[in-house]
Structure 1
Amino acid sequence: MSSYYNPACYLPQSWSSYVPNALSCPPPPSLASTIYNYATSPFTSTYTTLRTMADALVGLPALSFLLIPTMTSYSTSLNLLFFYLTWSTLVLSHPPLRVELVATLAVRTLFYILPSTFFLLFDALLPSAAENLKALGDSALLFKNASRAQTFRTLRVVGWSIFNVLMGVAIQAAVEVLFTRVLLIRSALRVTTTLPLPFGILKDLARGYLVREVVAYILHRYVLHGWSKTPTLARAHQQWYHSLPAPFPLAASYDHPVAYLVRGFIPTYLPALLFRFHLLTYVLYLTLVSVEETFAYSGYSTVPTNFILGGVARRTDTHLLSDGEGNYGPWGLVDWVMGTTVGTDIIDDVVLEADKHDVPARVEGVKDKAKRKVNGRIADAKHNTDASGPRRRTTRNQSSS
């Protein structure tokens, strides 16, 4: 309910009959109207925030923000100006905490929960078609020929997965409240009208992925599989996550709630907290992580950017099928360094992708082409030298005579 200042509301009651109806103080809202406004105000404000943020992001073409330093055009500058105005209006008209939480929840919903649910429904409704796309065949189809008890168990897994995602968003909100209202320090993420520079975005993404890889490896290997140090948490992780027969959509966030925080939330959120990401950088970072989790746990043999996500998905499958013998990091980089890779490692992915695209033959072709070009220039230089030589001797003879 919008509120505004009306001087007529402060006049004595006896003067109200002399005030025109257009300027008179409106009657107070009823109790039912007040309860309705208080109940719907958070949802209305959240919807307005989400719509404004969507308008801001849709108004900026993909990669145009990153290409501004090198490709400045009228349309790009105009789109950037529109994005800046919309983003500034959004930040100035809503509390920073609401903007951050709505953005986080929107990213997790649009790029993880909804596509994973779509893949899960596709597997359940069209099992014969999905079986041909699954890397592990029908063993990854949990709804195929499942009994009622197995179906309820799978639905319980889905429910816990969504609950863990929402729990992560709630903990992120608690961290912001702790920083800004209890400790009275700056917020964990930067929610400002100033846009991050392209180089700053790339630097934060690189640092964020590197820290996420290292932290995820350490916590996954030494905490969730550290039977001698944390037996209770390791047992919970074994009974929850490793009870799955195979990875399937939404399994990325399925685990005991505490184990999920250790395995998924902390490695993802900690880099943003350490480097104090700008909210736009965090949105991009969380979008990439959500897409990675969606396809890595989809179980499909072919995924977009198969060079990157394909290797991540294969190592995810192997970790679960080997009962946690290795492949503790999301990308497998630290596993390759520490020698804990099970199956193909990240170097094997590079070699496989190079062989797939026949990179050695292409390199040899480029070398041969360069050699022919250099040899051609050398031959032309010799020919020009031979052609100009006699004229120079003739000139010297003429000058001497």
Structure 2
Amino acid sequence: MQPIFALPIYYLLIEPVWAFCGTSFNVVFFYMTWATLVLSHSALRVELVGTATVRVLCYALPSLLFFLFDILTPSAAVLLKAQGEYGLPAGNKRGRIRKKDLKVAGWALFNLTLGIVVQAAVEHALASQFRKVRLVKVTLKLPLPWTLVLDLFWGLLFREILSYTIHRCILHTNNPLARLHRTWYHSLRAPYPLTAHYDHPLVYLVGRWLPTILPVFLRRLHMLSYIVYLGLVSLEETFAYSGYSPMPTGFFIGGMARNTEAHLHSAGKGNFGPWGVLDWMLSTNVEEEFEE
């Protein structure tokens, strides 16, 4: 059996952008490449390699680099932190690398891997019981540009609703999952790189993985729509939990990052959604209460 990483995933991630922005020849070439991938590899293989690749490139790798930058060069990192020294993993620029910080990074990467494993198990179960039912559609037919835009809109909207509801109604009420969430994630001083996926594994699956993957199933996203959707979510998590003040797209991502910090510093009194839209509509948004 061929190794799983023999799949030319480059074409899955790079070629869509090139194809849609290029000539009709590029579109035809991309479709031929896509058809070759679909016909020569199983749908499960395409989905899992695509998922792992996007997660590594858009979340794990940049977050790990940011984390190493914070712990190895804190004097330089503190200049970029919105909360100064308090936003560093050690809490100050003279602090040493702590075992707890490495533990947080280890659990975050473990949870990320766990989510992909659970996704594979769910897909295998669906394929065994319902042959034509899948989380992600891997078909020869490609989504049209406006279909892709609609998929992204509904996917991100469903994720916002699910994240807000689960976070507020399950992870911040009186139950075992809420207590685990409080003793794990809310033991952090401040968000810093990799903490987006740090929590007890059970809490992670309910509060982070489920709101991300369920909209994909409800909307029946095509693989290409799913790749773009997952890439946007991964980049959002990378920057919103980085603790840095300079942000791409400035106000938008920067506002999400400040909301994330305020949620942690307020001990979970508000800011339950990733984008803050439902918090604003339902008056559960909280302002920054940080005091160094």
- Residue 81 (structure 2) aligns with: 134
Shift of 1:57: 3.6
Q: Which residue of 2 aligns with 1:265?
A: 209
For 2:73 and 2:234, how far apart are their aligned partners in 1?
Answer: 25
Say if 2:112 is the partner of 1:165. yes
- Match runs of 1:2-401 below 5 Å: 41=1, 44-49=2-7, 52-62=8-18, 65=20, 75-143=22-90, 144-146=93-95, 151-227=98-174, 231-343=175-287
The whole-number CA distance in structure 1 between the counterparts of 2:106 and 2:13 is 30
Residue deviations 1:254-287 (CA, integer Å, cap 9, x gap) = 0011111122111111110101100110000000
Query: Amino acid of the residue matched to residue 276 of structure 1?
Result: R
**8 A contact 1:53–1:87 mirrored in 2:** no
Give the whole-Å Cα distance in 2 for the aligned partners of 1:56 and 1:219: 32
Give the letter aligned to residue 245 of structure 1. R
TM-score (norm 2): 0.94
CA distance in 1, matches of 2:168, 2:108: 21
How far is the alpha carbon of 1:303 from its aligned partner?
Answer: 0.5
* Maintained 8 Å contact 1:56/1:83: no
Alignment partners' CA distance in 2, 1:215 and 1:45: 36
CA distance in 2, matches of 1:183, 1:240: 37
Summarize the Cα distance change of 1:118–1:86 in structure 2 as closer, same or farther, 3 Å threshold: same
Equivalent residue letter for 1:234: A
Q: Which has the higher contact order (CA 8 A, sep 6+)?
A: 2
Q: Distance in 2 between matches of 1:182 and 1:280?
A: 25
**What count of residue pairs does the alignment treat as equivalent?**
286
Cα deviation, residue 129, structure 1: 1.3
- Percent identity, aligned pairs only, is 49
Per-residue displacement from partner, 1:219-238 (whole Å, max 9, x unpaired)?
Answer: 000100011xxx21111000
Give me the whole-angstrom Cα distance separating, in 2, the residues matched to 1:340 and 1:187. 35
Distance 1:116 1:88 in 2: 33
What is the distance in 2 between the residues matched to 1:327 and 1:312? 9
Displacement, 1:106? 0.5
Which stretch shows the higher mean deviation, 257-266 or 273-282? 257-266
TM-aligned CA distance change 1:304 to 1:269, over 3 Å: same
**Superposed displacement of residue 293, structure 1:** 0.2
2-structure distance, mates of 1:251, 1:59 = 31
> In structure 1, how many angstroms separate the alpha carbons of the residues matched to 2:252 and 2:153?
15
Paired AA for residue 223 in structure 2: L
What residue number does 1:6 align with?
none
Q: Distance in 1 between matches of 2:12 and 2:79?
A: 40
Equivalent residues of 2:9, 2:49 under 8 A apart: no
Aligned-residue offset at 1:47? 2.0
Structure 1 distance, partners of 2:120, 2:79, is 42
**Alignment deviations for residues 179-233 of structure 1 (CA, whole Å, 9 cap, x no partner):** 1113434222110111111111111111111111111111000100011xxx211
Q: Which has the larger radius of gyration?
A: 1
Using structure 1 for the length normalisation, give the TM-score. Answer: 0.69
Gaps of 5+ in 2: none
Q: Secondary structure at the match of 1:175?
A: helix
Partner of 1:398: none
Aligned residues of 1:59 and 1:82 also touching (Cα < 8 A): no
2 CA distance for matches of 1:166 and 1:338? 34
Alpha-carbon distance between aligned partners in 2 of 1:234 and 1:56, rounded to the nearest angstrom: 38
Letter in 1 for 2:142: L
Alignment partners' CA distance in 2, 1:93 and 1:258? 36
The CA deviation at 1:56 is: 4.8
Cα drift, residue 122 of structure 1:
1.1
